[in-house]
Amino acid sequence: MAYPSAAPSSPPRQPSVKVILASADVQRVVDRIAHQILEKTHGAADTVLLGIPTRGAPLARRLAARISAFEDVSVPVGVLDITLYRDDLRRNATRAVGPTQLPAGGIDGMRVILVDDVLFSGRTVRAALDALGDLGRPSSVQLAVLVDRGHRQLPIRADYVGKNIPTALAESVKVTLAETDGTDEVRLYGEVHP
């Protein structure tokens, strides 16, 4: 008895991937943001950088190092964990709560620049603003991001943007950094095409 042959299965569809920033591009973007911070803050006077984990923390350290290299100015750096301030805690699994590490001088009266890798809906920044309110009273708060991909759900904008990447909602942006992922790169993952 002959069995009908199974139709050949097609390979699983892979999303399209496009490298937006390679390693050297990421370094140039960080340098440009560092220069913009120096210009807009008059030499980074009374300025603190707070990185939002996971990738905002190493970006904040890189920005501080580049500012120091360009102007011999030491900018205090800290880490602002926003896990418990997120508005999606009940709906999504979240990462473990991490430490918030403020610079020794604190943030009261300082210009705080929040640093993150990707600005999307604005909800992460809203959570960061809520967290800041519990930690002190900065004189002002600014935002620096490596990538702004659009699609804001809240009225939030970045003061310093490395790269604007217009995206579709179904696309995603993935930032990798040497400190957390072994390499510096920004990729755009597109929709699955037949």
CATH number at residue 69: 3.40.50.2020
The pLDDT value recorded for residue 44 is 97
User: Is 7 within the bounds of a domain?
Assistant: no
Q: With contact defined as beta carbons under 8 Å apart, do 57 and 82 qualify?
A: no
User: Is 147 within the bounds of a domain?
Assistant: yes
| Residue 59, domain extent | 21-85+102-168
User: Confidence class of residue 87 from pLDDT cuts 50, 70 and 90?
Assistant: confident
User: Is 8 within the bounds of a domain?
Assistant: no
* 96 or 51, greater pLDDT: 51
What is the rounded average pLDDT of the residues 47-55?
97
The total domain count for the chain is 1
Place of tokens 């179904």: 170
The pLDDT value recorded for residue 74 is 97
User: Is 51 within the bounds of a domain?
Assistant: yes
Instruction: Tell me the C-alpha distance between 83 and 77, whole Å.
Output: 19
Q: With contact defined as beta carbons under 8 Å apart, do 56 and 117 qualify?
A: yes
- Kindly report the pTM of this predicted structure: 0.89
What is the rounded average pLDDT of the residues 3-10?
56
